[in-house]
Amino acid sequence: MVLLVTDGRSNNKQQTILKAQELKNNGAVKIFVVAVGRHIYGIDETVQVASYPPEAYMFRVNNLQGFWEVVKLVIKEVNPRKFKVVQGQYDPPC
C-alpha cells in the first residue's frame, strides 16, 4: 500500500501519473491519496493517481486535524487486529 500525502500540486504531472499507473498495473499496490488543503488545482491528477474507485482511495481534508482523522481511518482499514488507535495518542492541536 502507498499513502501519498499531497497539497495537490506535483512537480511533474505526467511523470507522477505515469509512475502511479505503473504501480497500479503491477497489481501489487493500492494507492491511497490524501490531499491536504483547500486547493482544487491538481484534483484531476490526484484522482488519476489514486487507486480505483477514487471514492475509496482518495481523501480531501482542509487541515492537519483532518489528515489525522484519515490516518485513524486507514489504521482501522489496513489491519484492525494488528493496529489500533489508542486514546491518548498524539492528537495534534490544529
Write the CATH number for 31: 3.40.50.410
Assign 4 a pLDDT band (cuts: 50, 70, 90).
confident
The Cα 77–Cα 40 span in angstroms is 27
Kindly list the distances between the CA atom of residue 27 and the CA atoms of 1, 51, 67, 73, in Å, as whole numbers in the listed order: 11, 10, 27, 23
pLDDT per position as a tens digit, 26-73: 887 899 888 888 777 778 888 999 999 988 888 888 888 888 888 777
Is 87 part of any domain?
no
Q: Which helix (H) or strand (E) holds 65?
A: helix 64-78
Domain count, the chain: 1
The Cα 75–Cα 87 span in angstroms is 14
Is 33 part of any domain?
yes
Determine the pLDDT at residue 85: 59
Print the domain residue range for 61. Answer: 2-78
Q: Which helix (H) or strand (E) holds 58?
A: strand 58-61
Is 90 part of any domain?
no
